[in-house]
Chains A and B, each alone.
Chain A
């Protein structure tokens, strides 16, 4: 089934959140201003990106990262235009000109820079095509999305959106139990770590804010960042009753309440 929408109303950071949590494999195809950009993921990690018609060849990336001189880049273009990125990478490594790690870092930063271009209010429509991978000759990387999401979400300054996402500060948050997630690998700010220390279903968001002398906007921003990165989820404060039917079905024993619900169910079954 479809996984498509409009970037204005379903922003890239929410797509990354979804891809990360669902550990998706496939390509996000973005149509924007007559351009088609591609961002590819494997098991929820960033592996590849291509921005519109921009030259994303290894030569171009290394040249822009100042790992190749202009002459070297031109030479490769002229003499070895038909060599694939993977072959070229191997030749540069074998020639001891660059290490494999240097090449991968350059590509990783380049792919990431493409993703970031969509952070700011972006326009365009997207569709996620499951299992679609880049051509085999392209070099892929493997980058966790949590820190990318944290960096992007942190820039969020729109109070209105933050209030929509976290309407009540009387709720609590708790850590999501997700396999393979190690909180120590997160690149959090001092303020974010301060908040993390107080996260338990026993504390309301408001209490965490007070303990850290943070205002509504600050606490909402941090909590939203952690929500978006899939690190925490919102819950009712521990100890509050699971259900309260005292105003819905007043003056009734549990047994009578059960009987009422059962009669409703039976009636609906025959509706």
Chain B
């Protein structure tokens, strides 16, 4: 039996839980809690430990998706989650440039741990205030060879596309 895992990370409220929920075959075991701090009162619930999704390939192979909590005080979970991952997805809310610095921080932190493949998903592209991809690439300081894909977490097809593109880039790297 082979278990592999992909980590879904990104700033607070980027759409990580929704991303996993859209593709997981089991109900996402999440750990949502009521938000306490006023500063982050964008919504009433946030993830406090991790989201957890599963996609069974066959009797031999299962893909697990782990979503990191978005709030800073749970940073310690990153290193734990990143152990043994196949790759990671950085979700960014395209409508909230004020979170781009945090996205850069997450990206650079994960990138420094290990040579793990990653992909950046420009989420909430369905909203009118969404930045376009070219501007986001520059603002997030992504080199030309980093994959940046448009995403709408509630739309399963775009979620699939993000994951497949990540896996394809892993194939390329294996050579």
Q: Does A137 contact B (CB under 8 A)?
A: no
Chain A CB count within 10 A is highest, among B5, B63, B167, for B167
Given contact pairs A263-B57, A264-B167, A271-B156, A249 touches B98 in the complex (Cβ within 8 A): no
Stretch in B12-20, B30-38, B43-51, B80-88 with 4+ CB within 8 Å of A: B80-88
In the complex, are the beta carbons of A4 and B129 less than 8 A apart?
yes
In the complex, are the beta carbons of B2 and A244 less than 8 A apart?
no
Question: Among A10, A166, A248, which residue has its beta carbon within 8 angstroms of that of B4?
Answer: A248
In the complex, are the beta carbons of B98 and A271 less than 8 A apart?
no
In the complex, are the beta carbons of A5 and B117 less than 8 A apart?
no
In the complex, are the beta carbons of B104 and A164 less than 8 A apart?
yes
Contact with A along B126-140 (1 / 0, CB 8 A): 001111101100110
Q: Does B174 contact A (CB under 8 A)?
A: yes
Q: Give A6 to B95 CA distance when docked, in angstroms.
A: 11
In the complex, are the beta carbons of A10 and B117 less than 8 A apart?
no
Name A residues whose Cβ lies closer than 8 Å to a Cβ of B: 1-6, 8-10, 14, 17-18, 21-22, 161, 164-168, 170-171, 227, 233-236, 240-245, 247-249, 254, 257-258, 260-265, 267-269, 271
Question: Among B84, B111, B139, which residue has its beta carbon within 8 angstroms of that of A18?
Answer: B139
Question: Among B84, B132, B156, B168, which residue has its beta carbon within 8 angstroms of that of A247?
Answer: B84
List 8 A-B pairs, Cβ < 8 Å. A2-B95, A10-B97, A14-B101, A17-B138, A168-B112, A244-B115, A261-B167, A268-B164
Chain A CB count within 10 A is highest, among B83, B86, B100, B134, for B86
Task: Please name the 10 residue pairs, one residue from A and one from B, whose CB atoms are nearest each other, closest first.
Answer: A9-B98, A168-B112, A5-B97, A243-B173, A1-B132, A10-B97, A164-B105, A247-B84, A267-B57, A248-B86
In the complex, are the beta carbons of A248 and B85 less than 8 A apart?
yes
Q: Give A165 to B2 CA distance when docked, in angstroms.
A: 37
- B129 smallest CB distance to A (angstroms): 5
Q: Give A265 to B143 CA distance when docked, in angstroms.
A: 25
In the complex, residue of chain A having the shortest beta-carbon distance to the beta carbon of B100: A10
In the complex, are the beta carbons of A6 and B61 less than 8 A apart?
no
In the complex, are the beta carbons of B134 and A22 less than 8 A apart?
yes
Chain B residues whose CB sits within 8 angstroms of the CB of A164 once the complex forms: 101-102, 104-105
In the complex, are the beta carbons of B139 and A249 less than 8 A apart?
no
Q: Does B41 contact A (CB under 8 A)?
A: no
In the complex, are the beta carbons of A2 and B128 less than 8 A apart?
yes
In the complex, are the beta carbons of A233 and B143 less than 8 A apart?
yes
Q: Give A80 to B167 CA distance when docked, in angstroms.
A: 69
In the complex, are the beta carbons of A14 and B139 less than 8 A apart?
yes
Classify chain B's interface size.
Answer: 35 or more
In the complex, are the beta carbons of B143 and A235 less than 8 A apart?
yes
Given contact pairs A3-B135, A244-B114, A268 touches B160 in the complex (Cβ within 8 A): yes
Chain A residues whose CB sits within 8 angstroms of the CB of B95 once the complex forms: 2
New contact pairs (8) apart from A168-B112, A248-B5, CB-CB < 8 Å: A4-B97, A9-B98, A22-B134, A165-B105, A233-B143, A241-B115, A260-B61, A271-B156
In the complex, are the beta carbons of B143 and A167 less than 8 A apart?
no
In the complex, are the beta carbons of B171 and A262 less than 8 A apart?
yes
In the complex, are the beta carbons of A165 and B131 less than 8 A apart?
no
Chain A residues whose CB sits within 8 angstroms of the CB of B58 once the complex forms: 263, 267
Given contact pairs A168-B109, A235-B143, A269-B160, A22 touches B100 in the complex (Cβ within 8 A): no
Chain B residues whose CB sits within 8 angstroms of the CB of A161 once the complex forms: 101
In the complex, residue of chain A having the shortest beta-carbon distance to the beta carbon of B139: A18
Chain A residues whose CB sits within 8 angstroms of the CB of B138 once the complex forms: 17-18, 21-22
In the complex, are the beta carbons of B116 and A244 less than 8 A apart?
yes
Question: Among B2, B112, B173, which residue has its beta carbon within 8 angstroms of that of A249?
Answer: B2
- B46 smallest CB distance to A (angstroms): 19
Q: Give A245 to B170 CA distance when docked, in angstroms.
A: 9
Q: Does B151 contact A (CB under 8 A)?
A: no
In the complex, are the beta carbons of B139 and A233 less than 8 A apart?
no
Q: Give A261 to B61 CA distance when docked, in angstroms.
A: 10
Q: Give A165 to B111 CA distance when docked, in angstroms.
A: 13
Chain B residues whose CB sits within 8 angstroms of the CB of A260 once the complex forms: 2, 4, 61
In the complex, are the beta carbons of A249 and B86 less than 8 A apart?
yes
Q: Give A227 to B143 CA distance when docked, in angstroms.
A: 12
